[in-house]
Amino acid sequence: MAIYLTAALKFAVAGPLDLLVTSFMLVATVVVTGASYWYTHFLRRSPGRTFLYGQALFDVALITAVVHITGGPQSDLTPLYVPLIAVTAVLMPPASTGLITALVGIVYFADVFFGHRTPMTAQVALQLLVFVGVATATAYFASRVSVMGAEREALAGELRQARLEAADVLRNIPTGIVTVDQAGHLLFCNPAAEQIFGFKERHWRGRPIMPEFAKIAPEFWAAITATARRGVRAMRVEATVRRPDRTFPIGVTTTTLEVEPAGEPRVTAIFTDISDSKRLEELHLRAERLEAVAELSASLAHEIKNPLASIRSSVEQLGRAKRANPDEKFLTSLVVRESDRLSRLLSEFLDFSRVRATECRPLDLHTVAGAAIRLVREHPDCPEGAVIDLAGGATPLEGDEDLLHRVVSNLVLNAVQAGGKSARVVVRTGRPGPQEVPGGAGIEHPVMLTVSDNGPGIPEGLRARLFEPFVTGRVGGTGLGLAIVQRAVDAHRGLVLVDSAAGRGTTFTVYLPAARRREEAA
């Protein structure tokens, strides 16, 4: 439309043919402009290659007609070809730009030489060179802009992908992450943090969360507060989470993050439940103590057993003497009986000190458990009404059958003794679930043995020292049964855990590797 108006204003004297061509140009311009607007705005379609070619051809025809009517090579409107070529170079590929430029050159050359019968002049040649130069320069810069735009789109896509991946990682990692601002408002909280603290992010997002932290985990609140006030880049502490259902430790690392140079820094806390690591640390310390006690027990047992045997033999001979009176015979029998009891106790000491996995071979833990249960049923301390069930299925592993037999028999015997006449014990073998083995245990392809009873549970004061030698909650017990269990499990590089609650029974869980390590098998 602008091109048409420009041409109309250039007419000083218009002939009939010029008026006819001008009117046709007006109608064509209105129709093409309306069709283009309807296609792009009402149909909301992006201009494609065909649309751009059609628009460019129409513009070439329109400008050529205007230039022809207004004087051809002498026309002041010849530069209208320049914006046409420039726009074409921006919107279309270089090859298409070359075609349109060639078409402009051909129609302009034809109009000059055949429409107006004008000879070739420097002005016409310069005009053609200008067309080529504009097309080349604009196409080059347009291609660079296109490349930069593509690179920007690629970077934006990579940034979006990185953000999605980071968000996915933050949602799925087992480590809790919390971010708060200087005022203590919750800005971010991943699902692991929700699970550790027991609240939902949607209930606290944008609200003051620090009072809740102070109530649930005071040390955690203190670490965030200190980091925010002092501007410390990183702080590592241990905190205790106190929830209504349980209490457990967490390891916390806090740091500050400055989003804007002039803005207030935010505090991010990264934390994880360290209950398993603490538990494993206690187990390792317990194993070291048992090893030291075992060495001491072996030394003492050897030093005591030989003199005790001599004392027993001498006293027994004195009791058999003809001149011994009844009181002397009674005293000698008492000494012999107590010597025998001490000898049995020393034998248990030696058994405790000699717990070693000496002969490891493939076996079925389920079969070993069945044999141990049959032995316990014949034990004099097993009540007649005790019920012992064996659950699970075949559980192959490599281990010392004698040691594993002692593990099961000791645990089952303790269970029936704790349950009394109405004891009900369930022994189960199998493979644990993926989240059942404590993290950091380092047990490859673990198998599991559980022994559960319906007894009164283990007192809180006794539970922490349960696997130590000579610690027992039963009258007449030596306190070496569970210590032997611990050492036998340690000999297989396994773990033994206990869960007990007053009035709800006790469950011992043993995790063992299904196969020995290569260096152990060598």
pLDDT at 15: 56
When pLDDT is cut at 50, 70 and 90, the band that residue 194 belongs to is confident
Integer angstrom CA distances of residue 277 from 125, 164, 178, 364, 415: 86, 32, 22, 30, 28
Instruction: Examine domains 173-273 and 360-521 and report if their fold is the same.
Output: no
pLDDT at 152: 79
For the ranges 409-413, 432-436, 484-488, 515-519, which has the lowest average pLDDT?
515-519
**Residue 13 scores a pLDDT above 50:** no
Q: Which of 94, 93, 83, 39 is nearest to 59 (CA)?
A: 83
When pLDDT is cut at 50, 70 and 90, the band that residue 519 belongs to is very low
pLDDT at 426: 93
| The domain defined by 279-353 carries CATH number 3.40.50 | no
**Residue 522 scores a pLDDT above 50:** no
pLDDT at 509: 92
**Residue 204 scores a pLDDT above 80:** yes
**389 vs 404: CA distance, rounded Å:** 18
Greater pLDDT, 387 or 154? 387
Outline where DSSP puts E strands in 423-505. 424-430, 446-453, 495-500
- Per-residue pLDDT of 426-467, as tens digits, reads 999 999 887 777 766 678 888 999 999 988 888 877 877 777
pLDDT at 452: 92
- Per-residue pLDDT of 38-69, as tens digits, reads 877 777 777 777 887 788 788 778 777 777 77
Residue 440 φ/ψ region, left for φ over 0, alpha for ψ in the -120 to 50 degree band, beta for the rest: left
Q: In the CATH hierarchy, which top-level class contains the domain 173-273?
A: alpha beta
Greater pLDDT, 441 or 514? 514
Greater pLDDT, 111 or 420? 420
Q: Which of 415, 407, 409 is nearest to 453 (CA)?
A: 415
**315 vs 311: CA distance, rounded Å:** 6
Rounded to a whole number of angstroms, the CA Rg of the chain reads 47
pLDDT at 103: 77
Alpha carbons within 13 angstroms on the beta-carbon side of residue 252 total 28
Q: How far apart are the first and last CA of the chain?
A: 93
**Residue 476 scores a pLDDT above 60:** no
Q: Which of 253, 266, 280 is nearest to 175 (CA)?
A: 253
Greater pLDDT, 70 or 376? 376
Greater pLDDT, 370 or 5? 370
**387 vs 420: CA distance, rounded Å:** 11
**Residue 127 scores a pLDDT above 90:** no
**Residue 416 scores a pLDDT above 50:** yes
Structure tokens at 320: 């058999």
Helix runs in 111-121, H state only? none
Structure tokens at 328: 């002397």
- Mode of pairing for the β-strands spanning 360-364 and 387-392: unpaired
- Mode of pairing for the β-strands spanning 387-392 and 424-430: parallel
**300 vs 277: CA distance, rounded Å:** 35
Integer angstrom CA distances of residue 35 from 4, 6, 21, 43, 83: 17, 22, 21, 11, 22
Average pLDDT over residues 20-26: 69
* Domain ranges, ordered by start, for the chain: 2-150, 173-273, 279-353, 360-521
Q: Which fold has domain 360-521?
A: Heat Shock Protein 90 (3.30.565)
pLDDT at 370: 92
How distant is the alpha carbon of residue 341 from its chain centre?
A: 57
Average pLDDT over residues 148-171: 72
**498 vs 286: CA distance, rounded Å:** 14
**Residue 520 scores a pLDDT above 70:** no
| 270 membership: H or E segment, kind and range | strand 266-273
- Per-residue pLDDT of 418-429, as tens digits, reads 888 888 999 999
**Residue 7 scores a pLDDT above 70:** no
DSSP string, 384-401: TT-EEEEEE---EEEEEH
Q: How confident is the prediction for the chain on average, in pLDDT? A: 77
Residue 208 backbone dihedrals phi, psi, to 5 degrees: -65, 120
Report the DSSP beta bridge partners of residue 43: none
- Per-residue pLDDT of 342-399, as tens digits, reads 776 666 666 655 566 667 889 999 999 999 999 988 888 888 888 899 999 899 998 8
- Per-residue pLDDT of 285-339, as tens digits, reads 766 666 666 555 655 665 566 676 777 777 777 777 767 677 777 777 877 777 7
**436 vs 165: CA distance, rounded Å:** 28
| 364 membership: H or E segment, kind and range | strand 360-364
